[in-house]
Amino acid sequence: MKTTEAPGTRDRLIGAMFDSLQRKGLHGVGLSEILHDAQAPKGVMYHHFPGGKADLAVAAIEAGAAQIKASLLQVIEAHADPADALKIWWGHAHKRLERSGFERGCPLAAISLESTPDDIALRDALAQAFGAFRELVADLLAGAGIGAKRSTQLAALIVSAYEGSLIQARVAGSAKPVNDTVEMLLGLLRIELANAKESRA
């Protein structure tokens, strides 16, 4: 929210945490590694994030959510057909994963699975992020003429498929699970979109 915050150490810390979440999750990295990546000493981190590691993670999740949202909005604006937009955007994630040697996946997924019900702030931030994500997709579909309820459900399926396909590709060291998932899903989506268009005509 505080967009006027001076860029610098704080953002470098968030960036380094974001990076680590993509690669190994929250418990997979030590503070020392994050601090090293961000070129920052310890004190400065507890200055900006008094709550420590978890606090920084929440900030990184929020930054990640904002970034995902922005990039999705961008492809939506560039492609009139929702199916095309989703395909492009999915391709981005897929290429990032592949180019990194199957190291970099979704920054939200790993920490989601490491979190316990006690991690209130963490799960809150994550739930909000995924919720916003689903809503964005649902709005896209509703805008293409699909009914509200069906758009919501379809959006849930799309986001689920997105996360799940990245998990599988990651461990397989192969893009095939993503490609198979996307091809089938987009095929079904196009039928859905065609039906929506027809029933409006």
Q: Which positions touch DNA (CB under 7 A)?
A: 6, 8-10, 27, 29-33, 40-44, 46-48, 52-54
Can you tell me which of 35, 63, 156, 175 binds a copy of itself, judged by CB under 8 A? 156
Give me the helix-helix angle, 82-99 and 176-200, nearest 10°: 170
Under a CB-based contact definition with an 8 Å cutoff, are residues 114 and 25 in contact?
yes
Q: Does 25 bind a copy of itself (CB under 8 A)?
A: yes
Q: CB under 5 to 8 A by kind: which of a copy of itself, DNA, none does 53 bind?
A: DNA
CB within 8 A of 1, min separation 6: which ones?
A: none
Is 8 or 143 the residue whose CB approaches DNA more closely? 8
52 binds a copy of itself (CB under 8 A): no
Q: Please say whether the beta carbons of 19 and 110 come within 8 A.
A: no
Residue 63 interacts with a copy of itself (CB under 8 A): yes or no:
no
Cα gap 68→169, rounded to integer Å: 20
- Interaction of residue 115 with a copy of itself, rule CB under 8 A: yes
Q: Hey, which residues between 123 and 142 contact a copy of itself (CB under 8 A)? A: 123, 126-127, 130-131, 134
Burial grade of 150 (CB within 10 A; 0-12, 13-18, 19 or more): middle
Q: Which does 20 bind (CB under 5 to 8 A by kind): DNA, a copy of itself, none?
A: none
> What is 130-159 written as a DSSP string?
HHHHHHHHHHHHHHTT--HHHHHHHHHHHH
Tell the residue number behind the tokens 């599988």, with chain if given: 168
Q: How far is the CB of 4 from a copy of itself (least distance, A)?
A: 29
By CB under 8 A, tell whether 194 contacts a copy of itself. no
Q: Which of 182, 168, 165 is nearest to 86 (CA)?
A: 182
Q: Which of 33, 55, 163, 175 binds a copy of itself (CB under 8 A)?
A: 163
Which residues of the chain form contacts with a copy of itself (CB under 8 A)?
Answer: 23-25, 27-28, 101-103, 105, 109-110, 112-117, 123, 126-127, 130-131, 134, 150, 152-157, 159-165, 167-168, 170-173, 176-177, 180-181, 183-185, 188
